[in-house]
């Protein structure tokens, strides 16, 4: 299994541009998450999904959108990029159900700079 993969690894955007961060997992997990991590800080939840077609806001959703059309994919869309969105973005997935440990598995991250 590849686990959780993210593309791109790095990206520089100009203010006002848009982009989509891709996230794919091959573990058949039902839950998926997007976090951001600013320098020297812990991760903050942006959006999450409990299954295909179902998404909900986390702690810091402003400026982002998500969709989940399949179990495997959970793209994060940035509209009108702002310098405050300069951060490292991590996607994660977990399986929840039947008393199974809901360990979250993280991707390698996307480092985004908005200038």
Partner 1 sequence: DAKTTQPPSMDCAEGRAANLPCNHSTISGNEYVYWYRQIHSQGPQYIIHGLKNNETNEMASLIITEDRKSSTLILPHATLRDTAVYYCIVRVFGGGADGLTFGKGTHLIIQP
39 touches partner 1 by CB under 8 A: no
Residue 62 interacts with partner 1 (CB under 8 A): yes or no: no
| Interface with partner 1, residue 105, by CB under 8 A | yes
CA 28 to chain centre: 17
According to the binding rule CB under 8 A, does residue 44 interact with partner 1? yes
- Residues 91 and 74 sit within 8 Å (Cβ to Cβ): yes
Cα-based torsion angle of the residue sequence 4, 66, 90, 107 in order, rounded to the nearest 10 degrees: 0
Q: By CB under 8 A, name the binding residues for partner 1.
A: 4, 31, 33, 35, 40-45, 48-50, 56, 58-59, 88, 90, 92, 96-97, 99-109
């Amino acid at each position: 299994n590849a686990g959780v993969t993210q593309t791109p690894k790095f990206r520089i955007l100009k203010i006002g541009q848009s982009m989509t961060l891709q996230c794919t997992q091959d573990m058949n997990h039902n839950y998926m998450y997007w976090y951001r991590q600013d320098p020297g800080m812990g991760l903050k939840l942006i959006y999450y999904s409990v299954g295909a077609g179902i998404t909900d806001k986390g702690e810091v959703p402003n400026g982002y959108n998500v969709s989940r059309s399949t179990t495997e994919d959970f793209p994060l869309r940035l509209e009108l990029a702002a310098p405050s969105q300069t951060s490292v973005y991590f996607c994660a997935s977990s399986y929840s159900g039947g008393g199974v440990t809901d360990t979250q598995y993280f991707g390698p991250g996307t480092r985004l700079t908005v200038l």
